[in-house]
Homo-oligomer: A and B are copies of this chain.
Amino acid sequence: MKNEKISMKDIAEMSGVSIATVSRVINQNGRFSSETEQRVMSIIEKYDFRPNELARGLRANKAQAVGVIVPDITNEFFACVVREIEIELLKKGYMAIVCDTNEAMDLEKKYIAMLKSLQVGGIIYIAGDTNVKCIENIPTVYVDREPMMIEDMMASTFIGSDNYQGGYIATRRLIDAGKKEIVLVLHKKSLTTQKRRLDGYKQAIRDAGMKFNENLIIKVENVDMDHGYEVTKKIFESELNPDGIFYSADILAIGGMRYLNKMKIAIPEQVSIIGFDDIPLSSQITPALTTVKQSYTEFGHLASESIVKMMNGDADYRKYILSVQLVERETV
């Protein structure tokens, strides 16, 4: 028996609770026992009850969803950023739905279309590339990777690290440790993050009166441990003979250290290593990795705060450039 004309009052009577309780169950607000919930929901389902209240609840649920686009969920750095975003959104009464694009631009486009059709309230967007257009008609906060097209950025918020500073302090630290041939391993993609780290590297080299050598800049196809291992192997099998390597991601450095360990190349005596990100793993390995810390806690906090403001109509259009810091451990 289906009856779309059934009322909240009917539901309340049939489940033996008050109308207010039925409303609380429908909106998942306030207090009710799981027994009550079960009783109310079974009647709602039995009669396929879809009152305005429920419709409103559904709409409210939709508005409460925030899409999070992330380029690589298996990279612990991004997993940690996502976790922080989730926690902060939950505190504000919103929920994150995560789309992992595996660094593929065509997938980003599809996920964005899907998130729009699901009518999420906003999108937190960690792009897989720089050559990206801003998303239209939906509040968007860009994190970590800044879109190149600044003219589109006027109505957007960007949150990222001071990658120039990061490149500078890491390189400077290796120079201060007496290193002369410092390799920089970067992501192949033309990301602003990579470009700024390279600029910082160059400046530190110049400030020390050393000569910038293009051959010491090595690019990797993908950012994972296997590519860190392979690129390090390639470096040491080439004519290069570095005494310091600055990897643009901790997971690259960790892969590289596996190669050095295997070849019995002493860290830091023969080769000093610095990573970037400060993922939890970096303090767990032996020797513990010296690295440039990006605050994913702050990323998550600011991104959530900003997207919620935008969803509530309070424009908060600005760039947040967060300071990074060198975390000294055992590899320099």
Minimal Cβ-Cβ distance residue in B for A115: B97
Minimal Cβ-Cβ distance residue in B for A80: B74
A270-310 contacts to B, CB under 8 A, are 280-281, 284-286
Q: Please, which residues of chain B bring their CB within 8 A of the CB of A285? A: 258, 285
Question: Which one of A61-69, A122-130, A179-187, A191-199 is at the B interface?
Answer: A61-69
A225 near B: Cβ within 8 Å? yes
Contact, CB under 8 Å: B65 / A114: yes
Q: Contacts A255-B284, A284-B258; is A110 near B83 (CB within 8 Å)?
A: no
Question: Which of B76, B83, B224, B226 contacts A100 (CB under 8 A)?
Answer: B83
A 100-126 binary contact with B (CB < 8 Å = 1; else 0): 101000010011011001110000000
Q: Please, which residues of chain B bring their CB within 8 A of the CB of A57? A: 117
Chain A residues with a Cβ closer than 8 Å to the other chain, count: 50
Q: Please, which residues of chain B bring their CB within 8 A of the CB of A45? A: 136-137
A58 near B: Cβ within 8 Å? yes
Q: Please, which residues of chain B bring their CB within 8 A of the CB of A111? A: 95
A39-66 contacts to B, CB under 8 A, are 45, 57-58, 61-62, 64-65
Residue pairs across A and B with Cβ atoms less than 8 A apart, 21 shown, are: A57-B117, A61-B117, A67-B97, A73-B79, A83-B100, A83-B102, A86-B100, A86-B102, A90-B107, A95-B111, A95-B114, A97-B98, A97-B118, A98-B98, A98-B99, A98-B100, A225-B284, A226-B280, A229-B284, A254-B284, A258-B285
Closest 5 CB pairs of A and B: A98-B98, A61-B117, A58-B117, A97-B97, A74-B79
